[in-house]
Amino acid sequence: MTILPCISVPRSQCSQAVLCVYFFRYEEEKNFRKQHPWLVENIGSMSDGAINYLSTSPLVFDVVNPYVQAKCTSEAGEGKDACDADNGRAQSTLQREKNSEQGDLCDAARHAETLDRDRAPGTVNSQMEKTGSGKSMTDKNKADTNAIPDVRTYHCYTCKNELRAYEFFSRRLSEDARRVVGYGKGHVITKDELEKKHQLEAHRVSLHGGGMSVAWAQPSALPSGQEPGYNPVGHLSRNQKSLSLIHI
Least confident range of 74-83, 90-99, 123-132: 74-83
Within-domain flag for 182: no
Within-domain flag for 47: yes
Number of domains forming the structure of the chain: 1
pLDDT digits over 93-128, tens only? Answer: 888 888 887 777 777 778 888 888 877 777 777 777
Buried b (16+ CB within 10 A) or exposed e, 181-195: bbeeebbebeeeebe
Within-domain flag for 75: yes
| pLDDT at residue 165 in the model | 93
Find out whether 46 and 74 touch, Cβ atoms under 8 Å: yes
Within-domain flag for 13: yes
Quick one: how far is CA 227 from the chain centroid?
22
Within-domain flag for 183: no
Within-domain flag for 243: yes
Within-domain flag for 174: no
d(CA 84, CA 177): 31
Task: Give Cβ neighbours of residue 201 (< 8 Å, ≥ 6 apart).
Answer: 195
pLDDT at 223 over 70: yes
pLDDT digits over 56-70, tens only? Answer: 998 999 999 888 889
> Which range of residues forms the domain containing residue 232?
6-138+206-247
d(CA 230, CA 124): 7
Q: What is the pTM of this model?
A: 0.74
Q: What's the pLDDT band for 247 if we cut at 50, 70, 90?
A: very low
Within-domain flag for 134: yes
d(CA 130, CA 14): 14
Q: How far apart are the first and last CA of the chain?
A: 9
